[in-house]
Amino acid sequence: SGTGVGFACKHAVLTFNFQQSAAMSTLLINEPKYAWLKELGLSEDNDGVYNGTWGGKGEVITSYCPANNEPIARVRQATMAEYEETVQKCREAWKVWADIPAPKRGEIVRQIGDALRKKIKVLGSLVSLEMGKIYVEGVGEVQEYVDVCDYAVGLSRMIGGPVLPSERPGHALIEMWNPVGLVGIITAFNFPVAVYGWNNAIALICGNVCLWKGAPTTPLTSVAVTKIVAEVLEQNNLPGAICSMTCGGADIGTAMSKDERVDLVSFTGSTHVGKMVAMTVQERFGRNLLELGGNNAIIGKDDADLSLVVPSAVFASVGTAGQRCTTTRRLMLHESVHDVVVERVAKAYKQVRIGDPWDPSTLYGPLHTQQAVDQYLAAINQAKQQGGTVVCGGKVMDRPGNYVEPTIITGLPHDAPIVHTETFVPILYVLKFKTEEEAFAWNNEVKQGLSSSIFTKDMGRVFRWLGPKGSDCGIVNVNIPTSGAEIGGAFGGEKHTGGGRESGSDSWKQYMRRSTCTINYSKDLPLAQGIKFE
């Protein structure tokens, strides 16, 4: 998970004021090379509010490309009055949407998936341009939304509760599941399409309406996705407010958290901001779904297949330039394989192709903001002060954009403060362990509990790892990396990761409320537990 609701907005606003005069003349959207942006319905100035009609009377922010820090285009954010109007329209739209049978709602979600398929390459290119991840990952992210739509279509015919045996004659005991109502979705910069997609597709088939506040540094992606979804709703003569959007910063995020009309707040971002969201929502006894930070570890045992360990460690630590919530930040290696694995991983790091994220041959792009570059440098300094050795990388690259070298640091104690800190950059801390117990304890000693993976051929160890004394994470893998989860399972983590679950398995239950219903179809009135009240 990425930035919180607050900082990125302030960053964008500061940058906007500072570069205002330059931005007016040379937006990337006006260059022939980027003419494809117009296929997504984008222009120089874009409305940042959708609730059946488009608007945006708030602050104008400029979106910048992390690969060259050039301005792409501008978005007009929501005012608080527009937020208020949007919530009211959402609630009205729910009255229509909740009456539509779930399989028919599934048909609308199927059409959303198809509309995304038609724009997958151009939308993937926008993710690459605005977020900074490589093109194949940008397209992969849209594919994830498409996949979740497909999954949700099937789910729309399957959600429901059991019929339970009643202890009373002539009685039926059933479980009913109903939508919570309005789902507020706050997403982070690092997955500006997929995280909304997971929430949106599942929430819709459950009978909810959605209000989306994307990251303040990826507003063009929010606008482009919303245009695709809105068109499907409009073609089906449904209220556009079923999938509303308000672009904005911490003010909108805070309003959603405090608003009793927002039945569920699904927040993806930093643990720091997530904690504030959770406390605000809890104060009004609302419901929250949190997807927060991760400090994920790969464990390489002495019997590990090193031809799997090395590429897994490289992909999971370098992929998305270290900006996934599931990125591997700690590589724990058994003392017998430590040196050879470090050597091979460092060699692979030096061969990673760095370049413009939209170039198909690039494997590694820029960090999302200049602030992330500063955090990278600060973390490396702290790691050195705490006894670490930089084996590979460690420097900001001399080229336009927010590029840093992917970095490997060895020699730190497992409990060094920097090792226990999630820094959202491509730094891998390599730790040396002796025993299985030690490795499991180190995996679990950090505050977060998102993803984890062990590489071993020992079946006993595999099941100990999956068991009650094994990994305490929400994602517990064997012989694959910590990142790159598929949509069929429930995605999320424990402890400071927030406890939320999205996407597959029974995650749909987070978007619905359960009623236990007892129906008496007899002429008698027997009480439960055999109580006589006569």
Catalytic residues: 291
Please report where in the chains the tokens 């996949």 appear, as a residue. 147
Q: Are 369 and 8 in contact (CB under 8 A)?
A: yes
Nearest to 292 by CA among 472, 448, 509: 448
Q: Give the helix/strand (H/E) hosting 111.
A: helix 102-118
Under DSSP, the state recorded for 527 is P
Helix 306-318 crosses helix 338-350 at what angle (to 10 degrees)?
50
Tell me the chain's radius of gyration from C-alpha atoms.
Answer: 24
Q: Are 137 and 320 in contact (CB under 8 A)?
A: yes
Count of C-beta atoms within a 10 Å radius of residue 107: 14
Structure tokens of 450? 């998102």
How far CA 398 is from CA of 225, 395, 404, in Å, comes to: 34, 9, 9
**Residue 317, φ and ψ in degrees, nearest 5:** -100, -30
**Residue 307, φ and ψ in degrees, nearest 5:** -70, -15
Q: Are 500 and 452 in contact (CB under 8 A)?
A: no
Please report where in the chains the tokens 């199927």 appear, as a residue. 110
Secondary structure of residue 354 in the 3-state scheme: strand
* Dist CA 221 CA 434 (whole Å): 46
Contacts of residue 59, defined as CB under 8 A and 6 or more positions apart, other chains included, come to 13, 76, 77
Residues in the chain: 534
Secondary structure of residue 143 in the 3-state scheme: helix
On the 0-12 / 13-18 / 19+ scale of CB atoms within 10 A, 521 is exposed
On the 0-12 / 13-18 / 19+ scale of CB atoms within 10 A, 185 is buried
Structure tokens of 178? 């109903």
* Dist CA 467 CA 463 (whole Å): 6
Secondary structure of residue 427 in the 3-state scheme: strand
Structure tokens of 1? 């998970």
CA angle in degrees (0–180, nearest 5) for 23-24-27? 60
